[in-house]
Amino acid sequence: MMSILEEQALSSPYQEFSRQEWKNLNGHFNHSLHTEDLEQLHALNEPLNMQEIEDIYFPLAHLIELHIKNYGTLRDDNNLFFRRNQQKLPFIIGIAGSVAVGKSTTARVLKKVLSMLPDKPKVDLVTTDGFLYPNSVLVQKNILNRKGFPESYDTKLLLRFLSAVKSGAESLTVPLYSHLEYDVLPHERLTLYNPDVLIIEGINVLQVNSQRSPNSNKVFVSDFFDFSIYVDALEKDILTWYINRFESLRVTAFQNPNSYFHKYADLTLDQSRHKAHEIWNEINKPNLHENILPTKYRADLILYKGSHHFVENVKVRKI
């Protein structure tokens, strides 16, 4: 007779691996990074060490390498079948998860380790922050306090960009976002040239836009993904990380007079924590529960973090 855990594993669309089990899947990926690489990859108040990269991201890069190779094989087989010579298109990876859970670090580390694969693919990273509506538009729509919610993004622009990527456009430009100014930069763009792999990172990338009219085309951002990742953790841990990050920013970036959040620079520690709680409860918590968390099981792979910010287990969708 099977145990309850065994029954749950059989009924789940995911295979689950402990950290040790996942680490042992590393296979042939045996590269190493330098100290300066670590300094560039980790985020404020978010620990990152070589052990985490070797235990979690090297096996992840190996797994994605398998998907990329199969993606290329399928393209070649299609070319033979259709008697066409369809050009190579980028392999797109989506990374989603809550504010403060560590998506950006995951994206940066993954970009680095994928670029170290034997074929040395060209890997680019785009965050969806640049596809937010400018603050002036959000104010006009009276949704500035809902920045990060689905309606605050120019989804049509993001979909046009992804469509162009999968259409084989040789060069593409994407808008850039300034966390200092808390706004899209009107005159700055990032230009991409023929990436082999493109990582799209943002809280909204696995969301389904429920605000669309019934007659609109049902095309979603995730429709363009070849592989998707959700970075997960307990909400109480994410809240702790958010509050700690807010306080660290208060004594650093918020001290800059040009910072949008300079108004918080002179808060006391208690006031800072209270304000962070307030912002979390008014904006980030509702967005997490209404829009982000419900998309978790749309991902191909889930990285689950413990309270220490390191990954404890990994779930991978069965094939």
Q: What digits encode the pLDDT tens for the residues 194-233?
A: 999 999 999 889 987 555 555 566 789 999 999 999 999 9
9: in domain: no
48: in domain: yes
Res. 49 pLDDT band, cuts 50 70 90: confident
134: in domain: yes
143: in domain: yes
95: in domain: yes
Per-residue confidence (pLDDT) for residue 41, from 0 to 100: 76
State the pTM of this model: 0.92
Whole-number Å distance between alpha carbons of 155 and 223: 13
155: in domain: yes
Pairing of strands 197-201, 14-18: unpaired
Res. 11 pLDDT band, cuts 50 70 90: confident
- From the list 156, 161, 152, the residue with the least C-alpha distance to 183 is 152
Q: What number of residues does the chain have? A: 319
Whole-number Å distance between alpha carbons of 98 and 302: 13
Beta strands in 1-112 (DSSP E): 14-18, 91-97
Looking up residue 49, the CATH number of its domain turns out to be 3.40.50.300
User: Which percentage of the chain shows pLDDT scores above 90?
Assistant: 80
Mean pLDDT of 180-200: 95
Per-residue confidence (pLDDT) for residue 216, from 0 to 100: 60
Whole-number Å distance between alpha carbons of 277 and 285: 10
Q: Considering Cα of 48, then 49, then 55, then 57, what sign does the dihedral take?
A: positive
Q: How many domains is the chain built from? A: 1
- Which residues constitute the domain of residue 192? 14-317
H helices of 234-287, where? 235-250, 269-279, 285-287
Query: Above 70 in pLDDT, residue 50?
Result: yes
3: in domain: no
35: in domain: yes
